[in-house]
């Protein structure tokens, strides 16, 4: 039964079935992350705070009102891809708008299997444990820590597991974090993270996606939405260049472009201050890959920072009255979506969809943060 999957060659092929005929306990057969949590608590506690747990999101589901159900399932290919997470019918897809509206929290934080939330369809748990670890009821995972042994491993629950080293490699993430080259816009697919990584020193050093995003196998999946995580990937400081001051940013520990997606915007602000601390002149620069839709996707600009690259941001033509420069780096992780949600809300919308998109817009504002802040005296 496991043979077709044991080599993992077809692991990401549709449909990703979890159905099974094992004579295990109900708990071992249960595909909910809350069930896995009964025995794998530490993975659950990290994962539930990650965006993978929120992938069945109001910003996505709010768009289903105007889609056919095939297109909805296309989105779920990355956001909730198990066979049992997909929509059977268009009605099921439309009903999901109301269900999500009424149940804003997809997974039950208390891991209580008896609670009402445990009755929500499995798709509410998004990119959940079973998406990455279960096919035909069988568990797949990396070899035991410190071991190289692959294949069937005995264990005290769910028939043990099938160990495979692919779990430790970047390609494991490619199915959802890399588009094929045939989708390229100006030479680069909209999602190009794995390729960017391959071209960086990190692939030569053997540093995989997991090395940074799952340190010590922890299921945190932190990214640009996390200020401290983003900060430790960069070296940022001011430098004096003759009579000028510049902000220097180097990408030291990011395994791909900063940012890797077309959705975030990183804006560097500089402000000239006078003796009264009043702002008398401002400058700004963006790190972004900006695309727009006009008879297909088009690229407007790509100013992102690549691994090991250093860039200087230097205000010039500084007014005489200025005595200080104030530098700030602002990060808008969901910048592209903010614009999209706003334009959706300008039109008449189905009522549940409108509530969901408003919720997504509000969250996207709450996620904006200041990454760096420094005031320097002018020489
Ligand atoms: C009744 C307890 C129990 C439940 C419920 C359970 N597991 Fe396990 N799991 C275990 C045990 C025990 C092992 C074997 C650990 C070992 O010997 O290294 C294991 C092993 C694993 C492994 C392999 C770990 C490795 O080293 O690669 C994965 C992956 C896994 N489980 C995933 C899951 C997922 C996903 C779920 C929910 C769908 C789940 N388990 C539910 C007890 C459980
Ligand atoms: C190839 C995988 C893939 C497919 C297919 C996909 N997404 Fe996503 N989506 C992602 C990833 C990865 C992110 C996180 C990175 C980002 O912000 O772009 C994301 C983020 C999002 C977000 C912002 C975060 C959130 O959940 O609120 C929305 C909204 C979204 N997708 C909607 C959609 C919709 C609608 C579709 C179908 C038309 C879709 N996605 C299809 C991979 C995918
Ligand atoms: C996006 C995919 C993904 C999701 C979702 C995910 N995992 Fe994992 N998991 C992995 C990968 C990849 C590894 C191996 C990491 C490595 O080797 O660095 C792993 C490792 C593990 C291990 C072995 C840990 C160890 O210390 O040896 C267990 C157990 C496990 N996962 C359980 C879970 C459970 C339970 C959930 C849900 C709460 C979950 N995983 C969600 C991808 C995932
Ligand atoms: C050397 C460490 C490192 C490696 C290797 C790495 N990342 Fe990242 N990643 C980061 C840091 C730091 C951030 C936060 C800054 C940023 O967004 O670029 C990040 C951000 C992200 C984001 C957030 C979205 C965005 O637009 O930036 C995603 C998604 C992501 N990484 C996926 C991956 C995948 C997939 C791989 C493997 C192909 C990978 N990362 C390899 C460090 C790393
Ligand atoms: C089944 C599809 C799928 C797989 C496999 C997958 N991801 Fe994701 N990932 C997503 C989606 C969808 C999102 C966006 C969730 C949202 O916000 O709606 C995401 C978000 C993320 C983020 C959050 C970035 C941010 O903006 O802060 C990181 C980091 C990440 N993934 C890393 C990984 C790594 C590393 C792996 C491989 C071990 C992996 N993912 C495997 C679908 C996937």
CA 371 vs CA 225, 229, 286, 328, 366: distances in Å = 11, 10, 14, 8, 14
Residue pair 195/184 in contact (Cβ under 8 Å)? The answer is no
User: For 69-78, 106-115, 203-212, 296-305, which range has the lowest pLDDT when averaged over its residues?
Assistant: 106-115
Percent of the chain scoring above 90 in pLDDT? 83
For a mutational test of ligand 3's pocket, the pick from 134, 177, 217, i.e. the residue with the most ligand atoms closer than 8 A to its C-beta, is 217
Instruction: Give the pLDDT mean for 24-53.
Output: 94
241 φψ region: left (φ > 0), alpha (ψ -120 to 50), beta (else)? beta
pLDDT of residue 137: 87
Binding site membership of 127 for ligand 3 (Cβ less than 6 Å): yes
Binding site membership of 40 for ligand 3 (Cβ less than 6 Å): yes
Q: Specify the residue with its C-alpha closest to ligand 1, atom 31.
A: 139
| Nearest ligand 3 atom, CA 210 | 18
Binding site membership of 210 for ligand 3 (Cβ less than 6 Å): yes
Q: Strands 134-135, 244-251: parallel, antiparallel or unpaired by DSSP?
A: unpaired
> Interior CA angle at 175 toward 41 and 333, to 5°?
75
Residue predicted with more confidence, 107 or 146 = 146
Q: Is the pLDDT of residue 207 over 80?
A: yes
| Nearest ligand 4 atom, CA 261 | 26
Mean pLDDT of all residues in the chain? Answer: 93
pLDDT of residue 113: 61
Binding site membership of 36 for ligand 3 (Cβ less than 6 Å): yes
What single DSSP character describes residue 190? S
pLDDT of residue 42: 97
Q: Is the pLDDT of residue 108 over 70?
A: no
295 φψ region: left (φ > 0), alpha (ψ -120 to 50), beta (else)? left
How far apart CA 326 and CA 374 sit, in angstroms, is 6
308 φψ region: left (φ > 0), alpha (ψ -120 to 50), beta (else)? left
pLDDT of residue 136: 87
Q: Is the pLDDT of residue 87 over 70?
A: yes
How many A from CA of 239 to the centre of ligand 5? 36
Question: Which SS3 state, helix, strand or coil, does residue 24 take?
Answer: coil
For a mutational test of ligand 4's pocket, the pick from 202, 255, 305, i.e. the residue with the most ligand atoms closer than 8 A to its C-beta, is 255
Q: Whole-model pTM? A: 0.96
The torsion angles phi and psi of 313, rounded to 5 degrees, stand at: -115, 110
239 φψ region: left (φ > 0), alpha (ψ -120 to 50), beta (else)? beta
Structure tokens at 325: 């420069």
pLDDT of residue 18: 76
Instruction: Give tens-digit pLDDT for 49-59.
Output: 999 999 999 99
Sheet holding 151-153, edge to edge: 134-135, 138-141, 161-163, 151-153
Instruction: Give the pLDDT mean for 324-335.
Output: 98
pLDDT of residue 1: 38
pLDDT of residue 3: 43
86 φψ region: left (φ > 0), alpha (ψ -120 to 50), beta (else)? beta
Which listed ligand is nearest to 37 at the C-alpha? 3
How many A from CA of 140 to the centre of ligand 5? 19
How far apart CA 154 and CA 280 sit, in angstroms, is 69
Question: Which SS3 state, helix, strand or coil, does residue 317 take?
Answer: coil
For helices 335-346 and 351-366, give the axis angle rounded to 10 degrees. 150
CA 37 vs CA 44, 46, 104, 108, 110: distances in Å = 5, 11, 21, 11, 10
């Amino acid at each position: 039964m496991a043979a077709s999957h044991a080599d993992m060659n077809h692991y990401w092929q549709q449909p990703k079935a979890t159905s099974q005929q094992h004579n295990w306990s109900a708990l071992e057969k249960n595909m909910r992350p809350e069930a896995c949590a009964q025995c794998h608590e530490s993975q659950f506690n990290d994962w539930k705070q990650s965006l993978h747990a929120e992938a069945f999101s109001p910003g996505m589901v709010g768009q289903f009102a105007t889609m056919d159900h095939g297109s909805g399932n296309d989105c779920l290919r990355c956001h909730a891809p198990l066979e049992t997470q997909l929509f059977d019918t268009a009605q099921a897809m439309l009903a999901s708008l109301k269900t999500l509206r009424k149940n804003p929290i997809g997974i039950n934080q208390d891991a209580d299997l008896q609670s009402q939330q445990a009755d929500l369809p499995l798709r509410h748990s998004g990119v959940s444990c079973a998406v990455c670890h279960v096919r035909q009821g069988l568990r797949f995972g990396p070899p035991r820590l410190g071991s190289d042994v692959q294949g069937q491993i005995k264990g005290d629950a769910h028939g043990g597991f099938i160990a495979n080293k692919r779990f430790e490699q970047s390609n494991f993430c490619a199915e959802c974090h890399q588009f094929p080259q045939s989708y390229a816009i100006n030479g680069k697919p909209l999602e190009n993270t794995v390729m960017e990584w391959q071209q960086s020193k990190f692939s030569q050093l053997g540093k995989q996606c997991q090395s940074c995003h799952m340190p010590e196998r922890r299921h945190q999946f932190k990214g640009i939405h996390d200020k401290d995580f983003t900060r430790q990937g960069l070296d940022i400081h001011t430098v004096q260049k003759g009579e000028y001051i510049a902000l220097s940013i180097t990408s030291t520990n990011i395994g791909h472009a900063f940012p890797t997606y077309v959705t975030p915007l990183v804006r560097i602000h500089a402000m000239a201050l006078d003796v009264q601390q009043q702002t008398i002149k401002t400058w700004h620069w963006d790190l972004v890959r900006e695309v727009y839709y006009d008879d297909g996707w088009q690229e407007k600009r790509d100013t992102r920072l690549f691994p090991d690259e250093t860039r200087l941001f230097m205000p010039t033509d500084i007014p005489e009255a200025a005595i200080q420069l104030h530098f700030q780096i602002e990060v808008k992780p969901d910048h592209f979506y903010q614009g999209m949600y706003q334009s959706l809300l300008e039109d008449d919308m189905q009522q549940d969809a409108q509530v969901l998109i408003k919720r997504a817009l509000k969250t996207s504002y709450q996620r904006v943060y200041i990454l760096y802040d420094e005031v320097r005296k002018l020489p």
